[in-house]
Structure 1
Amino acid sequence: MSETNQIPEDEAVYVISVASQLSGLHPQTLRQYDRLGLVSPNRTIGKNRRYSLLDIVKLRNVQRLVGEGINLAGIARIMQLEEAVANMALEVAKLRTEVDALIEANPPKALVRRSEQTVVVYPKN
């Protein structure tokens, strides 16, 4: 399959039965995770769920965390924090690019070393 025929990872194309098979989770579990906001697939006009490859990855991540003994509320918080960290990392990368461009356009001036000056101290009268 050529790269031009591949489905983008964020395109919601998988019905719940296929998402269930790909994630290894029961369809009812997928519905529960949707209700809890852990993984929220897109919806068709008829309100049917459609999952993307990114959704499948999230489902597998939830399954892994459940297997590690973390409850669903904890998993929701972990996912929120991971998303916040990812967003901040993107913002830092953008700012770094801007700073690098500014530094390149306006290089810092070299410090000029002043010659030593003689200090004269007058005695008190």
Structure 2
Amino acid sequence: MNKEQPILTISVTARLLGLHPRTLMAYEKVQLISPHRTATKRRMFTGKDLDDIQFLKYLSQERKINLAGIKFILEAIRVAQGNDVNLIKALFPDFRVRALL
């Protein structure tokens, strides 16, 4: 499967991740995720989105970090990746992406 192809609806994505669709909408509202939109404005998710949302879920539910803290962490990760540093592995060695598809 091409991980960049937007093929999953919000309900399927939520079910695969064990989240409520409203949680995904909340993540989108605070700009933690940016799902693709169809011509009719339906949200569509990719395999990469699933991986990214798993990390958000891990930070929120396992590490008990609020959305503002998650935004800060994600920005630090983006900056570090520009310097070839993998902060996810360094700071969260117990996080593993599960194959959902």
* TM bracket, shorter-chain basis: 0.7 to 0.9
Structure number with greater CO (CA < 8 Å, separation at least 6) is 2
For 1:61, the equivalent position in structure 2 comes to: 55
For 1:79, the equivalent position in structure 2 comes to: 74
List gaps (5 residues or longer) in structure 1.
Answer: 1-6, 91-125
TM-score (norm 1): 0.62
TM-score (norm 2): 0.76
From the CA coordinates, give the structure whose radius of gyration is larger.
1
For residues 61 and 36 of structure 1, the distance between their equivalents in structure 2, rounded to whole angstroms, comes to 16
The RMSD of aligned alpha carbons is: 1.5
1:1-125 aligned within 5 A: 7-67=1-61, 68-89=63-84
For residues 64 and 70 of structure 1, the distance between their equivalents in structure 2, rounded to whole angstroms, comes to 9
The share of aligned pairs that are identical, in percent, is: 32
Shift of 1:17: 0.8
- Displacement over 4 Å in runs of 4+: none
Shift of 1:84: 2.2
